[in-house]
Amino acid sequence: MISRILSNDLPRSRWLAAVLIVLFLGLAFAPFLFPGVKALNVAAKVLIFVALVASFDLLLGYTGIVSFAHTMFFGIGAYGVAIALNAVEEPSWGAIALGVVCALAISFVLSLLIGLFSLRVKAIFFAMITLAVASAFLTLASQLSDFTGGEDGLSFSVPELLSPAFSLREEPLATPLGEVDLDGRFITYYLLFVAVTAIFLTILRIVNSPFGRVLQAIRENDFRAEALGYRTVVYRTLSNVLSAAFATLAGCLLALWLRYQGPDTSLSFEIMLDILLIVVIGGMGTLYGALIGSVIFVLAQSYLQDLLRLAGGAAEGIPLLPALLTPDRWLLWLGLLFVLSVYYFPTGIVGKLRERAVLARLRGRP
């Protein structure tokens, strides 16, 4: 049953399976295990990045296409929901559905055009074209203030059920894991959790289908795949369209969670770099790496400054250490962690754990 749900793409490592189960349960019960506004925001950000990184890995890890326009589709989804909800006096589920459908339609057209006109060129030229398109879209979003809110962005209301002011009961619900408020944030978080789980399992099914096998063949040797009769441009374009659609859905979820959308929220190039880092840390071409990499990166991004503050206080009186452990230097330490992860896990955490499992099985053979 589990094998069928996971599209027969099992972790193939006991340690990897244990890590994935712990992370999944941690995200599933995050409102109970980690009470507090910041902790819940971090868990929600992890979920959104899981969907976003998995969609990008479909393009990079499984098809071998480097694109810098992924955050553009992410932003289209967020702007679609934001503009739709901002345009109505009373927020409704119909407005959300309209925003999602319009965002998906725009992403479909743009990704199809980019794929048809750009994927015939060499990889580096395609990457440059997508970078130019993403930069142009960011400029448009910043300048069309009457439509997108410009640099200030758009703040909007969500349906009452998702509003933080909404509550299913006045008193917190007592559970074996602790008390939890059944408010709009609680409901929105589980909406994100269910949606991201569905997106992840759908992408997992795609990459393990015959279509996904062709994508991997194109990644390994596109000339041989073409010689076998597969129209590589068509498959690459379809991969680009699917990846863009899932990134758009992730953007819609981001807008619902933040109840705000601006250029820096989803369109900045820093987010694109974050996606690339997460893919490398987790493991390229392994969707499970999207989960592990997102958790590690978002936790480091959110709590590294706090850890450095504590470490700096503990290192008082030791020469040089307090200066190196100041919270202002958190990017230095984040970069160091990334370098160490690439050095010790060149195929990503998932790839390394699977390699160790294979070597252990080979040693156990007579």
- Name the residue ranges covered by the structural domains of the chain: 2-364
| Lowest mean pLDDT across 106-115, 171-180, 249-258 | 171-180
Q: Is the pLDDT of residue 366 over 60?
A: no
Whose structure tokens read 């929901």?
A: 81
Across the chain, how many H-helices and E-strands are there?
A: 18, 4
Q: Is the pLDDT of residue 2 over 70?
A: no
Q: Is the pLDDT of residue 96 over 90?
A: yes
Whole-number pLDDT of residue 150:
85
What are the φ/ψ torsions at residue 174 (nearest 5 degrees)? Answer: -85, 125
Which tens digit of pLDDT belongs to each residue from 35-59? Answer: 788 899 999 999 999 999 999 999 9
Give 167's strand partners. Answer: 183
Whole-number pLDDT of residue 11:
82
Whole-number pLDDT of residue 40:
92
Whole-number pLDDT of residue 226:
86
Whole-number pLDDT of residue 257:
94
Tell which wins on pLDDT, 179 or 183: 183
- Mean pLDDT calculated for residue range 139-157: 87
**In this structure, what token pair is assigned to residue 295?**
């958790």
pLDDT interval class at 193 (50, 70, 90): very high
C-alpha span between 290 and 283 (Å, rounded): 8
- Per-chain mean pLDDT for the chain: 87
Q: Is the pLDDT of residue 172 over 80?
A: no
Whole-number pLDDT of residue 292:
94
- Mean pLDDT calculated for residue range 119-142: 82
**Which range is most confident: 129-143, 159-173, 184-198?**
184-198
**In this structure, what token pair is assigned to residue 198?**
């569905």
Whole-number pLDDT of residue 42:
94
pLDDT interval class at 5 (50, 70, 90): low
C-alpha span between 83 and 91 (Å, rounded): 11
- Mean pLDDT calculated for residue range 240-261: 94
Q: Is the pLDDT of residue 364 over 60?
A: yes
How many angstroms separate the Cα of 210 from the Cα of each of 73, 207, 215, 253, 285? 26, 8, 9, 29, 16
Cβ contact 187:162 at 8 Å: yes
What are the φ/ψ torsions at residue 261 (nearest 5 degrees)? Answer: -145, 130
- Mean pLDDT calculated for residue range 159-172: 83
Which tens digit of pLDDT belongs to each residue from 293-303? Answer: 999 999 988 88
| Lowest mean pLDDT across 182-191, 256-265, 354-363 | 354-363
- Mean pLDDT calculated for residue range 163-191: 82
In the chain, what percentage of residues exceed pLDDT 70? 96
Instruction: Return the CATH number of the domain spanning residue range 2-364.
Output: 1.10.3470
C-alpha span between 86 and 255 (Å, rounded): 12
Whole-number pLDDT of residue 340:
83
**In this structure, what token pair is assigned to residue 360?**
């252990």
From 122, 62, 114, 72, select the one nearest 241 (Cα to Cα): 114
